[in-house]
Every structure is written in structure tokens, then in C-alpha cells.
Amino acid sequence: MAVIDAEAQGAVSRLRSILAGSAGNLVEIYDWFAYSSFAIYFATVFFPHGDRTLQLLNAAAVFLVGFLFRPVGAWLMGLYADRRGRRAAMVLSVSLMCLGSLVIGLCPGYAAIGDAAPVILVAARILQGISLGGEYGTSATYLAEMAGRRNRGFWSGVFYMTLILGQLGAALTLNLLQLTMRGEQIQAWGWRIPFFIGGALALAVFWIRRGMDETPSFTRKGAERASVLTLVTRHPRASLTVIGLTAGGTLTYYVYGAYTQQFLVNTAGFTKTAAAAVNTGTLALFIICQPFFGALSDRVGRRPLLIAFGVLGAATAWPILSTLAHVHDFWSAFALVMAGMLIVSLYTSINAVVKAELFPTEVRALGVALPYALANSIFGGGAETVALWFKHAGHESRFFTYVTVVIAASLIVYVWMPDTRATSRIVED
């Protein structure tokens, strides 16, 4: 009986730790996507010159700057997590996100302080980029090491649910403000509210994470000291695999999960409220899919799901986006975006655990974080900027081709890589 009680307590403790780690993910993603959700309102506050497309392009460029600093955060936090512990790194990352959100919420606009306004905005996004760059790799590693081998794919789906809940929270905040405030009020000062909310939530998670357990894998790790040199020289294939498998998946997710809100307004002629409703509704259904696809990978393997995403994603990207550019009713737009989101679920639901299963304990956090952050910054963070650049140049359809080509390149990696469910380097359960 004592043994059973000890096992039950261990399972409860593991579940509590997984949920605590995931709660931090939710808050960090909420803070990160509050920027893209409200960019259509505050772009004129920080970048008052030019037409709407140019203002959005400037705001998207700042969004990209945050992404470009995610590899820096992945490098610093990955090393910190592999040397000092997963829990310590997650506490630090959420602290930086809190600070970045509060700075954006308090920053005066261009009319008040001139060029200093966009400079401060960029600095805050750099802080958030460093934070999120470290957060993803560390929390994904933490989840993979705390979850048992049998249900690791399922928990990966739950992990991604919390990421999307954070994004959905940002979208719902936008919907709520649109329902309760006039557009001029949101543009004048209401856009600051989500950043204050995010800062407060991040502070709460800071205290929760201070009481989390460390993973058994880290406490039993070997003497090898994590470094970028070790990662590159001893694990080059795994590192390149992470970059390749991430490129198509992260680009597709940011196209359907983030950029389509601006795309519907700026190209299809939807109102801001209707576009936000499409984004919110598709994200809500997308969340539900994650644990189911994750659990499926526990039965059939990770690789079949990734290959299915690559084939379907490459075959449908151009038709979906080109059709979406000409729709004018809510349900047609909803169905098209939802189709893209269902396809990318085959990647998102398991991408965290696949990366973690490629590396040994000593360099796992760095191996998950740094190659992923590099690919995510280039392809995910660059999605809006590349799309708006093509539109501004008068060749928007070329962006659809770009998305197709990147997914097809990742498909080659999926076919070539091993099935990590069978070859996992996470030896502890």
C-alpha cells in the first residue's frame, strides 16, 4: 500500500509540475501575441507616417526583431537550463517577459516622444524575444522529461494547447475590447490593456514556477558540459534536423494562425472585428485537436504525422491562400483558415517532443531551443514581413508560392529523419 501511495503521489507531483510549466507557456505566448493581435491599432501610434500597409509593415518588422533575438535567448537560456536546471531557466524567462510587456504598455507614442517611441518598442520586443527564445526550448524539454514514455505525444499536444490558449487569450482580449470600446478608444489607449494584463499574469507565474520540481533527467545527468561547440560537433545531424523540420511547420502556423487576421483586413476587405472573429474561432477549434493528434503519435509514431503534414501542407497552401484573398463572407473564410489549421496540427501537436527526443540530457535544452529558434525566427517571425513585402511590391501571390516551397523542403526532412518515438534519447520515465 505504501508503494502504491508513493507511486500515486509521484504521478500527482509529475502532473502538477507539467501543468505549472505549461501555465508559464500560456502566459508567455499571451504576451507575445498581444503584440500581433493589437498591431492593427497601435501601428499608427508608433509609426504615424505612410499608408496602412506601410504602417503594418513597420509594426511587423518590429515583430520580426523580437524573433531575431529568440536565438539569443535560446542560446543563453538553453545553456542556463542545461547547466543550472530547467526550473531556474523557466523562472528567469517569465521574469523577462513580464518586464517587456510592462514596458510596451507604459511606452508613450510617437506624438509624445518622437523617435524614442519606436526605439523603446524595439527594446521591449528584444527582451520578449530573449525570453520566449529560452522559454520554448526549456519548457519543451521540461515537459518531455517529466512526461512518461507511453503518453509523451499526448502531453506534447497538451503543451501546445497551452501555447494556443495564450494566443487565443490575446485574441479574446481583442474581441472583448472591440465589443466594449470604440475603435478610436482602442487606438488611443485601449491597446495598452492587454500588455498590463500580460505583465500581471507573468508575475503570478513567476511565483508558481519557484515551487516546481526539477526533472529526474537533469538531476541524473552526466558530466558533459553543454556548449554550442558540443552541440554542433557532437550532434550536427540532430541540430540540422530540428531546423529542417521546424521551417515548414512554423511558417505554416504563423500564416494561418497569425497573419491571416491582417490578410483578411488588408487583402480580402474584412472589417477588423470580422477578421478577429475568424482568427478566434479557428484557434478555439485548433486547440482541441492538439492532444488527439499527440495521442495518435503515441500509437503510430511521430514520423507518419509529420509526413502527412508535409504532403497536405505543400499541396494546399497555394489554393487556400489564393481563394482566401477573394472571399467576402465569414463562413467561407472560417472554413479555409480552419482547413489550414487542421493540417498544421499534424506538426504542432508533436513538434516539441520530437525535438526533445533527438538529444541527450546534457545538451537537450540547448539542442531543442537554439536550432528551433533559428528556424522559427527566419520562417515564423519573417512570415508577416515577407507577406507584406510581396503585397507592397504588388506580387502578393508570390508569397503563396514561397509557403509551398518551404513546406516541401521540410517534407524532405520528414521523409529522411528517424521516428523519434522508437529512437528517443530520453531514457528516464
Across 29-38, 57-66, 329-338, 390-399, which has the greatest mean pLDDT? Answer: 329-338
Q: What is the mean pLDDT of the segment spanning 327-340?
A: 95
**CB distance 325 to 262 below 8 Å:** no
pLDDT tens digits, one per residue of 251-261: 999 999 889 98
State pLDDT tens for residues 394-408: 888 999 999 999 999
What pLDDT band is residue 308 in, cutting at 50, 70 and 90? Answer: very high
**Each residue of 25-40: pLDDT tens digit?**
888 888 877 887 787 7
Q: Is the pLDDT of residue 285 over 70?
A: yes
- What share of the chain has pLDDT > 90, as a percent? 36
CA angle 288, 372, 238 (to 5 degrees): 110
Binned at pLDDT 50, 70 and 90, residue 337 comes out as: very high
pLDDT in tens, 369-384: 999 988 988 898 788 8
Q: Is the pLDDT of residue 101 over 60?
A: yes
> What cell does 353 get?
517532443
How much is the pLDDT for 299? 95
* pLDDT 10s digits, 220-240: 776 667 788 888 899 999 999
Higher pLDDT, residue 270 or 175: 270
Q: What is the second-level CATH architecture of the domain 14-423?
A: Up-down Bundle (1.20)
CA distance 147 to 130: 26
Which of the residue ranges 227-236, 295-304, 359-368 has the most confident prediction, judged by mean pLDDT?
295-304
Does the pLDDT at position 199 exceed 80?
Answer: yes
Say which amino acid occupies 247.
A
